Amino acid sequence: MAIDIRPLKGAFVGEVSGVDIAKPLTKGDVAAIEAGMDKYAVLVFHGQKITDDEQMAFTRNFGAIEEARNVSVLKPEEVRLVTGMNDVSNLDKEGRPRARDDRQRLFGLGNSLWHSDSSFKPTPAKYSILSARIVNPKGGNTEFADMRAAYDALDDETRREIEDLVCEHSLLVSRGSLGFEVTEEERRGFSVARQRLVRTHPVSGRKSLYLSSHAGSILGMPTPEARLLLRDLVEHATQPQFVYVHKWALHDLVIWDNRQTMHRVRRYDESQPRDMRRTTVAGDGPTVIQQAAA
């Protein structure tokens, strides 16, 4: 069985067939998927019924698994999944949908804002791998925006203006924009990371906008001016021609390259379960020198 990748949306999203993710992959399979990621940035797999261990084993083919520390407001005893798995469900430890005023639910609503995973970390994520274990009956699509195509469509003047800009990203910015209030302890736990606004893909050499709702300031620019520029760029980058909408089916698995895309989840019926489990491949290193420790 050879891996085949069929375009679903231009050179942005590919649909993969001919591979069973639950089984160990050959070197050829891994190379074909990596080449697909370099070309497309989002790959969709159907009918992949996998366990958490199988998902983590699949993920390690592409690099180290990123640690999921200080990325939620869950206390250690409330964590539902094993280390290495990111819980992006609406479920508590007993498997019940969280109450409307549940803090973790309200924190998780930030995933409905356009973002790139872990852009608030000094070494941001490379790939995210999301497995649909329970699909919600209503809504819950994930939308992806092609930040390479969005960059390509900028005028020359804007490209020159933003080429060397550096943003500061923090979970406090995205959550704060929804009015979510954090405790002092949580505030101290959330990192602030500097990221280039324009990234270059290490293999294809294509440039892309590196945007995220976690970005709240630009070095050397007054904050209101920076936030307006960032809003303008997000508005530009998320126009329909750059966006793919994924409607989840049970046991779908989607991989996206956080260096070249943004994504968001749309609202769904929160009285019903939605069990989505993410693993994350750590990036190679920072996009820019971080602030020296005080």
Give residues in contact with Fe ion (CB under 5 A): 117
For the CB of residue 117, give the shortest distance to Fe ion in the complex, in Å: 4
The beta-strand segments (E) located in the chain are 4-9, 13-17, 42-45, 86-87, 125-134, 142-146, 166-170, 192-196, 198-200, 207-209, 215-218, 243-246, 253-257, 261-265, 275-282
Token representation of residue 8: 């679903």
Rg of the chain, C-alpha, whole Å:
18
Residue 268 Cβ vs Fe ion, minimum distance, rounded to whole Å: 15
Least distance CB 115 / Fe ion (angstroms): 6
Decide if 214 contacts 171 (C-beta within 8 A): yes
For β-strands 253-257 and 125-134, DSSP reports them as antiparallel
Residue closer to Fe ion, measured from CB, 142 or 217? 142
Which two tokens mark 13? Answer: 């999203």
Give the span between the Cα atoms of 148 and 125, in whole angstroms: 17
Task: State the residue number with the nearest CB to Fe ion.
Answer: 117
The conformation of residue 289, written as its DSSP 8-state character, comes to P
Residue closer to Fe ion by CB (options 32, 71) is 71
Of 117 and 257, the one with the shorter C-beta distance to Fe ion is 117
Separation between Cα atoms, residue 71 and residue 182, nearest integer Å: 12
Based on CB atoms, which residue is closest to Fe ion, 20 or 67?
A: 67
Measured from the CB of residue 222, what is the shortest distance to Fe ion in angstroms?
Answer: 29
Which is nearer to Fe ion, 87 or 117 (by Cβ)?
117
- Closer residue to Fe ion in complex, CB, 48/86: 86
Smaller CB separation from Fe ion, 19 or 213: 213
The full DSSP string for 186-199 is HHHHS-EEEEESEE
Which one, 32 or 116, has the nearer CB to Fe ion?
Answer: 116
Report how far residue 213's alpha carbon sits from residue 209's, in angstroms, rounded to the nearest whole number: 13
CB of 129 to Fe ion, least distance (A): 11
Q: Which residues contact 291 (CB under 8 A, 6 or more apart)?
A: 194
Distance CA 261, CA 140 (A): 18
Cα(261)–Cα(237) distance, rounded to whole angstroms? 10
- Cβ contact 208:147 at 8 Å: yes
| Residue 28: CB minimum distance to Fe ion, A | 30
Whole-number minimum distance, CB 50 to Fe ion, in Å? 19
Task: State the nearest-atom distance from the C-beta of 155 to Fe ion, in Å.
Answer: 29
